[in-house]
A and B are shown apart, each in its own frame.
Chain A
Amino acid sequence: MSAPGDKAGPSQISKSVENEAASKPVSILSSSQAQVARHVHPVLLVAFFLVRFNALVLDPVATMWNSLPVVLAMQVAYAIVCLPPAGAQAAKAPKKPRPGEKKKPAAEGSGSNIAVTTTAALFLSTFSACALHLIFVLFGAPLLTHLPNTFLCSLHLSLLGLFPLFYTHGVTKNSWLEILGARAPFDETFGGLVGGCLGAWLGAVPIPLDWDREWQKWPITILCGVYAGYVVGKAVGGTLAFGRRFG
């Protein structure tokens, strides 16, 4: 990406975002369960997706809907076992300026902290699915028909890609500015989001082909891309690219 500041004229006081937003990548908890779970989690996800694939092709809406609880359970379990909840890192950090987070007050006891963070993150993920739905439509998804297909697909993407980020970052403004600006450091969570989104983007490629296959139905290919991209992105983000940034 072009270096910010090309255009910053002399009049603009460069309050360069880089300085204050040196957020660190999220490391997986060091407990042994966490280390095991981080590897089991993608395997389970992929296995589950493959098991459900035929049903998905037969009836995308029902299958996506029925799978939600399972995927949700997997994501929640992964988050709780492997990831530090929002605020946990901040507490460790020397000083944290008020991030303007509403769910924060509840973060007293660590048990209730996890429960509240999970709930809030789930709520936020559901809400973000609406935004993702809109983005799908802007990319050309049908506006008036196939509403459940598109929405459930965005919900899956949101649960995979966004939920871990909400869980670890809460709604800290700077973190999200970094994430949305693709400046965040790579870790399992951000890598998963990038992978999921790229997967969804590439998932659109087979749709126009005239192969007349059932699996070309909307949004099966996108969902495949999301799952594949998420798993790959998560793995790469947690290992090879860990701590690196775009641009």
Chain B
Amino acid sequence: MPTRDPRPKAPPADYKTIAAQYARAKRLKEIEAAGRKSEVPSPDKAQDDAAKKQRAAFESRRKSAYEKRFSWTVGFWVWMLFIHIIGIYLFTSGFLLARLVLEEQSECSNPPIEPLAQWNGQGSVDAGCWHPKSFKKAVVVLIDALRYDFTVPVEDSSQAEVYHNAFPFLYETSLKSPTNAVLLPFIADPPTATLQRLKGLTTGTLPTFIDLGSSFGGEAIEEDNILKQLKGLGKRIVHLGDDTWTALFPGYFEPNISRAYDSFNVWDLHTVDNGVLEHIFPLMQPERTGEWDLLIGHFLGVDHAGHRYGPSHPAMASKLQQMDKFVRDLVQTIDDDTLLVVMGDHGMDGKGDHGGESDDEVEAALWMYSKKPIFGRTKPEYRIPPATAKIRPVNQIDLVPTLSLLLGIPIPYNNLGQPIEEAFAGQKGDGWSNLAAVSRIASAGIRRYQASYFAARGIEQSSLPGSPADFWERANVAAQKATKTQEGTYTAYTQYQEETLRICKDLWARFNVTRMVLGITVMALGVIVLLIYVSRDEDDDLAVLDPELDFAEKSLEMQMSTSTESPGSDQGLSKNLVKAGALGAVVGTGLGGGYVLLSASQDWPLAAAGTALGSLVGAAISLFGYGKSIANLIPRTFWGWLSIIFTLSQSIGFASNSYTIWEDSISLFFLSSFGVAAAIAALRRPTIMDRSLGVYHSVLFVVLGRIASFSKLCREEQMPYCASTYYSSANSSTSAPWQLAIPFAVFLILPTIIKAYLTSSRSYEGLAPAWIGYVLRGGLLLAAIYWTLDAASNGEWITSVPAETLKTIQVSVAQLVLALAFVAGTTAFIWAPPCVSILTTASKSGGKPQLIVIGHGNTNGARYLLLVVNFAAALILLSKPMGTGAIGLMVWQILSLVEIIDLNAITTETIGPVVLALLGNFHYFKTGHQAALSSIQWDSAFIPLFTIRYPWSPLVVMLNHFAGQILACVAVPLIVIWKTDPKRKAVLESTTRALGIFVAYYAVESLATMAWAGHLRRHLMLYRVFSPRFMLASAALLIVDLIGIAVTLTGVRTNTLAISEIFGWAD
């Protein structure tokens, strides 16, 4: 039936016409056949009608059986998703750091230790609670993402980056008048997200990782902190700028004069800053200084300029210049009793992003200024401000005791920082007794906090030599013995503080090993069950096509009027699995919940573990009941071994930070290895046609991958062996003008490529010409236009059009593309006829009518490709110009991959889905991402939107971030249904198998990164390398699970429905 007739063009046919044509042609043929057989051309009407009815009943029976199978398959995948969620949740809850939050508050009249110094009014707010106060008021200016090197001038202009020399004021003042100003590197404790930083900067304690996720929501700080102390002592606080503060400190700020601004519009460089500038100076007027005691101004422009453009952009320079001018102006308005603090909460990496713990991200700047001379340096060489952030850095938490003691309020209870030396050393730098006093009171606070913390957790504190207790004793001895100079006392207390801080950092890396092990166990069992589920037995191959057998089965089934149950064993498999899983879950929940209740441990995650484990055991028992066993997992072919080698060697590699860091190059290496193996295999094909095509597609696959590999975004650890090409420069997050050629090239080339692949199977029929030739092309052109406009607005090429208008056009264009891809695309995919064209021609000999279906041989694959194309279009829009090229290449690679798979007849092997999964990961890196939090392209949220809108903004960022994996997941069915005709049986079962292997790859990666992160939890690189990779793997796994259910399986169902409607049900 697959025709070889080279008729080039059939009239574009819509769904109904094709069905009608096919039905008519088929009838004609049947009559013809009947005529030939019985010699009686008897169109017996009654008989004909009965046959028709019988056929209709048969079709509807098969359809309802299909729907049942489909529901159970989806049921299985939903179950798998839950297993993965529980596994990841269990591990995460034990792995991400948790710290007990204490309720205690410091009190003014109750210092942790008797102060060394004596002063009038001791213990009162007016004179100073724990130490004589130095300032009545403070102005704290927070310049978000003010990296230390932004503030250090570079004299040699050839060495200077764009951002240098734009903000020299801090350095100059600190150099010229060291008693009035001091500039220091200000080291943040990761995670370097603003919310976590504000917690650290106000409470003086270490932030934990768990809070990171809440950076979008924000939540009030319960712990003792500077603002709480001030508020409790009746001071007034005014806040201007970033609204994260109001989320953390609700009701703290003076209502009428405080101004909060939306902080997440990364696109917007000026609204927040202009708001602060507008409102801060009136408050500095002498007649209004009485309205506040602490004035907080939080600027976001520098941070947003970093996110949007990267540090090496003129926008950053002008932003820094604006800050420079602002600080100069502000200094003029400061009075003698006011302390001015200008600081960054974190730095930014080479692209202007932050969140992780690389040096550039944690190195912020701190500048303190006072009109009256107060600051000192204990050594003459300290008079010059540090040239780099590696010299004399202070911790960000050190600001808390410093500010508290300078303002005369108690140090917050949970503080772990020490007073900053420069602020208490006296003008001459010899104020050792003052330094000893402040470090003693701060250390005593720390000691008190530690005692309550250990008591609350019920842990004994160590008093061995070298322990903090030992240091404390020695410091006390030093304080008593101190003769003339208290330098030794100061040093001793400082040592105590440093040691305690070190211990706390370790301590709060307190992992719940039980939960971690449970999480790993759940994931491992999940992987095993999934692999056994997808494993094939020798006689399991449902895809075997035997036309005669098929015909016999069909006629048998048609003759039986009683409904037959379930063709194919897999329906039963999914069904029983889900049932057994549910039963096991009930038992497991009962056991786990019962244990938690009885032991009254409140450890509810244990109950979840019980559910998952019980469910897995149930499913495993049911699988073994089907005769499947662990032995199924041992590969039997070269391709099986290759899949194992790829997956396992990568998983083992995640134990090494080097292999994790260089994952992008390693993925290319594996993909090329597959390509070479495929070329070798192709040379074994019997026909010269297959050999040449096989080698051609294999070479193409490898070459395309190598071309894609030129798109690079290097992570910091790859330096200096890596050069980023994703953006215009390493210090930028905008594209170079020449990169705009890429989306246009994609627009010109990609539809033609797709057409060529469809034409080779004569499947460029039905909706395909219109959809790929016009709609896809149009969408790609719009995407290219979008990125051109984006470059124009970033580079300010068009000055005649206001920026707002430009942005409006951009957003409309982007929304149009997404509407085309998702709304119109889905509708078209549901209603599209198969990509075939049906002709009835009279054959030359005998004049019998012949039924010709053009594109029959690829009916399943060609139509499904439309869905892949829709996703590709959307993802291309949401990726930056370099990424559009990567995705275009990926689509091409997917097409050549499915050709390779088909030509080598390895459709049923595991290698296809595994290579597709590798390809997805590879293009994750090629679309400008790395396994580091800072590589999330937050600004992509603003491609189709003006402001943050839930749930769309996170969705868009997710599509941008996981574009590679998502596209690969959508393309999974192509591996099994490419170049198959409508008679292909068990499409659903083959797809779910392929999807199973695909998901198993990600599940193994997730399991491996989880196990390694757990095992290496004390490793130096944990938060820099292993933990981000674990988070990436887990997120990717959940996403492919979701996409697999919502898009892949659903898409296959839609596809099968549409094809079976016309060609009849294959099974």
In contact, A201 and B673 (Cβ under 8 angstroms):
yes
B906 at interface, CB cutoff 8 A: yes
Nearest CB of chain A from residue B556's CB, rounded to whole Å: 24
A33 at interface, CB cutoff 8 A: no
A residues 107-148 in Cβ contact with B at 8 Å: 135, 137-140
In contact, B684 and A17 (Cβ under 8 angstroms):
yes
**Taking CB as reference atom, which chain A residue is nearest B682?**
A181
B451 at interface, CB cutoff 8 A: no
Nearest CB of chain A from residue B117's CB, rounded to whole Å: 51
B662 at interface, CB cutoff 8 A: yes
How many interface residues does chain A have, given as a range? 20 to 34
What is the CA–CA distance of A210 and B673 in the complex, to the nearest angstrom?
A: 23
**Taking CB as reference atom, which chain B residue is nearest A136?**
B672
What is the CA–CA distance of A146 and B656 in the complex, to the nearest angstrom?
A: 27
In contact, B706 and A137 (Cβ under 8 angstroms):
yes
With A2-B904, A137-B706, A139-B673 given, is the CB distance from A15 to B686 under 8 Å?
yes
Contact digits for A136-179, partner B, Cβ 8 Å, 1 yes 0 no = 01111000000000000000000000000000000000000100
A208 at interface, CB cutoff 8 A: yes
Q: How many residues of B contact A (CB 8 A)?
A: 33
In contact, A209 and B909 (Cβ under 8 angstroms):
no
A residues 51-108 in Cβ contact with B at 8 Å: none
In contact, B683 and A181 (Cβ under 8 angstroms):
yes
In contact, B686 and A5 (Cβ under 8 angstroms):
yes
What is the CA–CA distance of A208 and B660 in the complex, to the nearest angstrom?
A: 9
Q: Which of B475-483, B663-671, B792-800, B959-967 forms part of the interface with chain A?
A: B663-671
A183 at interface, CB cutoff 8 A: yes
In contact, A204 and B684 (Cβ under 8 angstroms):
no
B residues 864-898 in Cβ contact with A at 8 Å: none
With A12-B687, A15-B686 given, is the CB distance from A138 to B706 under 8 Å?
yes
In contact, B686 and A181 (Cβ under 8 angstroms):
no
Name the B residues within 8 Å of A240 (CB-CB). Answer: none
Count chain B CB atoms within 10 A of each CB in A137, A138, A183, A209 and give the residue with the most.
A138
What is the CA–CA distance of A180 and B706 in the complex, to the nearest angstrom?
A: 22
Contact digits for A1-39, partner B, Cβ 8 Å, 1 yes 0 no = 110111110001011110000000000000000000000
B658 at interface, CB cutoff 8 A: yes
A182 at interface, CB cutoff 8 A: yes
Q: Which single member of A8, A135, A140, A183 contacts B686 (CB below 8 Å)?
A: A8
In contact, A1 and B662 (Cβ under 8 angstroms):
no
In contact, A139 and B905 (Cβ under 8 angstroms):
no
With A140-B665, A208-B662 given, is the CB distance from A2 to B683 under 8 Å?
no
What is the CA–CA distance of A12 and B690 in the complex, to the nearest angstrom?
A: 11
In contact, A180 and B680 (Cβ under 8 angstroms):
yes
B661 at interface, CB cutoff 8 A: yes
Nearest CB of chain A from residue B624's CB, rounded to whole Å: 28
Name the A residues within 8 Å of B909 (CB-CB). Answer: 2
Name the B residues within 8 Å of A181 (CB-CB). Answer: 680-681, 683-684
Q: Which single member of A1, A15, A210 contacts B639 (CB below 8 Å)?
A: A1
In contact, B637 and A1 (Cβ under 8 angstroms):
yes
What is the CA–CA distance of A135 and B709 in the complex, to the nearest angstrom?
A: 15
**Taking CB as reference atom, which chain B residue is nearest A8?**
B686
**Taking CB as reference atom, which chain A residue is nearest B710?**
A143
What is the CA–CA distance of A152 and B982 in the complex, to the nearest angstrom?
A: 53
Q: Which single member of A1, A15, A137 contacts B638 (CB below 8 Å)?
A: A1
In contact, A138 and B666 (Cβ under 8 angstroms):
no
B702 at interface, CB cutoff 8 A: yes
Name the B residues within 8 Å of A180 (CB-CB). Answer: 680, 683
Name the A residues within 8 Å of B672 (CB-CB). Answer: 138-140
Q: Which single member of B656, B668, B906 contacts A139 (CB below 8 Å)?
A: B668
What is the CA–CA distance of A10 and B706 in the complex, to the nearest angstrom?
A: 38
What is the CA–CA distance of A41 and B706 in the complex, to the nearest angstrom?
A: 37
**Taking CB as reference atom, which chain B residue is nearest A7?**
B905
B659 at interface, CB cutoff 8 A: yes
Nearest CB of chain A from residue B604's CB, rounded to whole Å: 41
In contact, A140 and B684 (Cβ under 8 angstroms):
no
What is the CA–CA distance of A204 and B666 in the complex, to the nearest angstrom?
A: 9
Nearest CB of chain A from residue B689's CB, rounded to whole Å: 9
With A140-B665, A247-B638 given, is the CB distance from A2 to B905 under 8 Å?
yes
B830 at interface, CB cutoff 8 A: no
Name the A residues within 8 Å of B756 (CB-CB). Answer: none
B1017 at interface, CB cutoff 8 A: no
Nearest CB of chain A from residue B690's CB, rounded to whole Å: 8
In contact, B637 and A2 (Cβ under 8 angstroms):
yes
Nearest CB of chain A from residue B682's CB, rounded to whole Å: 8
Name the B residues within 8 Å of A204 (CB-CB). Answer: 669
What is the CA–CA distance of A132 and B685 in the complex, to the nearest angstrom?
A: 23
In contact, A140 and B905 (Cβ under 8 angstroms):
no
Name the B residues within 8 Å of A210 (CB-CB). Answer: 657-658, 661
B583 at interface, CB cutoff 8 A: no
What is the CA–CA distance of A123 and B337 in the complex, to the nearest angstrom?
A: 87
B703 at interface, CB cutoff 8 A: yes
Nearest CB of chain A from residue B601's CB, rounded to whole Å: 43
**Taking CB as reference atom, which chain A residue is nearest B683?**
A181
Count chain B CB atoms within 10 A of each CB in A139, A177, A183, A201 and give the residue with the most.
A139
Contact digits for B897-910, partner A, Cβ 8 Å, 1 yes 0 no = 00000001110010
With A135-B676, A140-B669 given, is the CB distance from A209 to B656 under 8 Å?
yes
In contact, B659 and A208 (Cβ under 8 angstroms):
yes
In contact, A183 and B684 (Cβ under 8 angstroms):
yes
With A2-B905, A208-B665, A210-B657 given, is the CB distance from A138 to B686 under 8 Å?
no
What is the CA–CA distance of A210 and B653 in the complex, to the nearest angstrom?
A: 13
In contact, A4 and B685 (Cβ under 8 angstroms):
yes
Name the B residues within 8 Å of A16 (CB-CB). Answer: 686
Nearest CB of chain B from residue A220's CB, rounded to whole Å: 15
What is the CA–CA distance of A2 and B675 in the complex, to the nearest angstrom?
A: 16
Nearest CB of chain B from residue A161's CB, rounded to whole Å: 14
What is the CA–CA distance of A4 and B690 in the complex, to the nearest angstrom?
A: 11
Contact digits for A209-237, partner B, Cβ 8 Å, 1 yes 0 no = 11000000000000000000000000000
Name the B residues within 8 Å of A12 (CB-CB). Answer: 686-687
Name the A residues within 8 Å of B681 (CB-CB). Answer: 1-2, 181
Nearest CB of chain B from residue A8's CB, rounded to whole Å: 6
Nearest CB of chain A from residue B424's CB, rounded to whole Å: 42
Name the A residues within 8 Å of B659 (CB-CB). Answer: 208-209
Name the A residues within 8 Å of B673 (CB-CB). Answer: 139, 201
What is the CA–CA distance of A94 and B684 in the complex, to the nearest angstrom?
A: 26
What is the CA–CA distance of A2 and B639 in the complex, to the nearest angstrom?
A: 8
Nearest CB of chain A from residue B942's CB, rounded to whole Å: 35
Q: Which single member of A6, A137, A209, A247 contacts B905 (CB below 8 Å)?
A: A6
Name the A residues within 8 Å of B666 (CB-CB). Answer: 208
In contact, B669 and A139 (Cβ under 8 angstroms):
yes
In contact, B683 and A177 (Cβ under 8 angstroms):
yes
With A139-B668, A201-B673, A247-B638 given, is the CB distance from A4 to B656 under 8 Å?
no
**Taking CB as reference atom, which chain A residue is nearest B666?**
A208
Q: Which single member of A5, A135, A140 contacts B668 (CB below 8 Å)?
A: A140
What is the CA–CA distance of A15 and B657 in the complex, to the nearest angstrom?
A: 51
Name the A residues within 8 Å of B904 (CB-CB). Answer: 2
What is the CA–CA distance of A209 and B672 in the complex, to the nearest angstrom?
A: 20
Nearest CB of chain A from residue B509's CB, rounded to whole Å: 23
Name the B residues within 8 Å of A4 (CB-CB). Answer: 684-686
Nearest CB of chain B from residue A221's CB, rounded to whole Å: 13
**Taking CB as reference atom, which chain A residue is nearest B680?**
A182
What is the CA–CA distance of A33 and B211 in the complex, to the nearest angstrom?
A: 76
What is the CA–CA distance of A1 and B1063 in the complex, to the nearest angstrom?
A: 35
B residues 896-928 in Cβ contact with A at 8 Å: 904-906, 909
Q: Which single member of B639, B658, B705, B706 contacts A208 (CB below 8 Å)?
A: B658
A–B pairs, 16, beta carbons within 8 Å: A2-B905, A5-B686, A12-B686, A14-B686, A17-B686, A137-B706, A139-B668, A140-B668, A177-B683, A180-B680, A180-B683, A181-B684, A182-B683, A208-B658, A208-B665, A210-B661
Extra contacts besides A138-B672, A140-B665, A246-B638 (14): CB < 8 Å: A1-B638, A2-B637, A2-B904, A12-B686, A12-B687, A140-B672, A181-B681, A182-B684, A183-B684, A208-B662, A209-B656, A209-B658, A209-B659, A210-B661
Which 4 residue pairs across A and B have the least CB separation, nearest first?
A181-B683, A7-B905, A208-B662, A6-B905
